[in-house]
Structure 1
Amino acid sequence: MSTPTDNAVVLLSGGLDSATALAMASERGFNCYVLSFDYGQRSQTELTAAKKIAADLKVKEHRIVRLNLEDFGGSALTDSSIDVPDHEEEGIPVTYVPARNTVFMSLALAWAEVLHAQYIVIGVNAVDYSGYPDCRPEYIAAFEHMANLATKTGVEGERLSIETPLIDLTKAEIIREGTRLGVNYGLTVSCYQADDEGRACGVCDSCRLRAKGFEDAGVADPTPYMPGV
């Protein structure tokens, strides 16, 4: 059996939350191997943001994996025929991408096993979030249990932990923590439908949560917005 390491696979979308989770993982002393996904999402500029954030935080390695979730659709983020809502929705919103975090974490798990990494870090949040079922603590606990049953390293005793440092924080608390750690939020893209320059629409659910977070945190919002917003 190999010796477990301080290697961590960190999921990075290019948004505010995942950038903060990466900075927190770095502060803990993890060797951060960063994984992003080009999954057919509306805003490709978030991947440009992910590259800049990974470089700024000097990670060990950054990989972008291409997935074709737009082949399935079923979400306003992967199907252009479904409009991104400009108001808060009841229940699970149309911006939920079917099984997205399960797909992402499964691939992170594969890389973690190769790296003998003890940790997968994901910036899910159960406080100021959009009601996605794959952001809940019980989901994370279930995935961690499965990961340790389903892998060679898990069976051989290299227990894997799914780290969710933002799970119980408000958006304002996340921003304050990231600010303390020196996260450059001007590099991040959170908007579901940012333009080619990375400018935010200001009306989608993600934009509203982000703007309120900066306001509540008492931190100047560095988000570039589209003209007229």
Structure 2
Amino acid sequence: MSAKPDSSARAVVLLSGGLDSATVLAMAQAEGLACYTMSFDYGQRHRAELAAAERVASAAGVIEHKVIDMNLNGIGGSALTDDTIAVPEGPQQGIPVTYVPARNTLFLALALGWAEVLEARDIYIGVNAVDYSGYPDCRPAFVEAFERLANLATRAGVEGEGFRIRAPLQHLSKAQIIQAGQALGVDYSQTVSCYQADEQGRACGVCDSCRLRAAGFAAAGVPDATRYQR
């Protein structure tokens, strides 16, 4: 279904299929927004997240879900897009090798384009500055800078109401995110966060993303809904 709803309260939600983005989608819908979701097939080794995004979008009843092809493995430079770089196990110092160059900048740029076409004002992204693993494109400064760009570089920004980049998880811990999502009815068993999930979406249990996710469930006092390989 691709027709616009009658309501002018529309939002584009970046939906990776992971825990954070599923929570953000639930938050946007709780605000009464008609949600359009966007995922990216960018050459990531954990492509099981795309099937998870489809499941989450379908269960949430979004207006439309798009999957955009983007060949980031063509430039490499990340353990998530280059098979010659191993996914690290355990905490990393500084910006880890799982950082994907320019990923959130590109994702937000395409979400911005779709939002302008849809006449949507809000763009949601599940970045987090507390458990963000050192990624520079998850910081509040990045979100604020991109919002300024969005309102400088678009017709809607110059002639219309402009855009808001919404990052409601920005200052929440993983445990707080899980608690918020549970209160909104998010089924975390449908999500995939692992950097090297297998084709069935089962998590490795040892990468940085798995570590943060497991610690979040434990701190929240919520049973871990993750399916593990071992």
Q: TM-score, normalised by structure 2?
A: 0.96
Aligned counterpart, 1:42: 45
Q: Note if 1:183 corresponds to 2:170.
A: no
Q: Name the structure 2 match of 1:221.
A: 224
1:210 and 1:27 mapped to 2: Cα distance? 23
CA shift for structure 1 position 6: 1.0
Residue 119 of structure 1 corresponds to which residue in structure 2? 122
How far apart are 1:88 and its partner, in Å? 1.0
Equivalence for 1:136: 139
The aligned residue for residue 99 of structure 1 is 102
Matched residue type, 1:222: A
Equivalent position amino acid for 2:82 in 1: D
Cα separation, 2, equivalents of 1:64 and 1:177: 26
Shift of 1:172: 0.1
Q: CA deviation at 1:5?
A: 2.6
Corresponding letter in the other structure for 1:209: L
Give the Cα separation in 2 of the matches to 1:191 and 1:139. Answer: 24
What is the distance in 2 between the residues matched to 1:70 and 1:5? 37
**Cα deviation, residue 16, structure 1:** 0.1
What residue ranges of structure 2 are gaps of 5+ in the alignment? 1-6
Cα RMSD over matched residues?
0.8
For 1:32 and 1:12, the matched residues in 2 are separated by 11
For 2:121 and 2:207, the matched residues in 1 are separated by 36
Q: Quote the Cα distance in structure 1 between the aligned partners of 2:222 and 2:90.
A: 24
What is the CA deviation profile of residues 128-162 of structure 1, one whole-angstrom value per residue up to 9, with x for unaligned ones?
Answer: 12110000001100000010000011110322000
**Helix, strand or coil: the match of 1:139?**
helix
Amino acid at match of 1:90: Q
- The amino acid of 2:20's aligned partner reads D
The Cα offsets for residues 15-55 of structure 1, whole Å up to 9 and x where unpaired, read as: 00000000000000111000000000001110000000000
| 2:35 matches 1:32 | yes
Question: What do the CA deviations read for 1:42-91 (whole angstroms, capped 9, x no partner)?
Answer: 01110000000000111111000011000000000000000000021110
1:151 aligns with 2:151: no
Matches within 5 A, 1:156-171: 156-171=159-174
Percent identity over the alignment is: 63
Conserved 8 A contact 2:90-2:211: no
Distance 1:127 1:5 in 2: 33
Deviation >3 Å, runs of 4+:
none
| Map of 1:63 onto structure 2 | 66
Deviations 1:141-195 (A, max 9, x none): 0000010000011110322000001001000000000000000000000000000
1: CA distance between counterparts of 2:98 and 2:47?
Answer: 16
Name the SS of the counterpart of 2:95 in structure 1.
coil
- Total equivalences in the alignment: 224
**Does 204-213 or 156-165 show the bigger shift?**
156-165
Aligned residue in 1 for 2:4: none
Q: Work out the CA distance in 2 between the residues paired with 1:129 and 1:100.
A: 14
| Long gaps (5+) in structure 1 | none
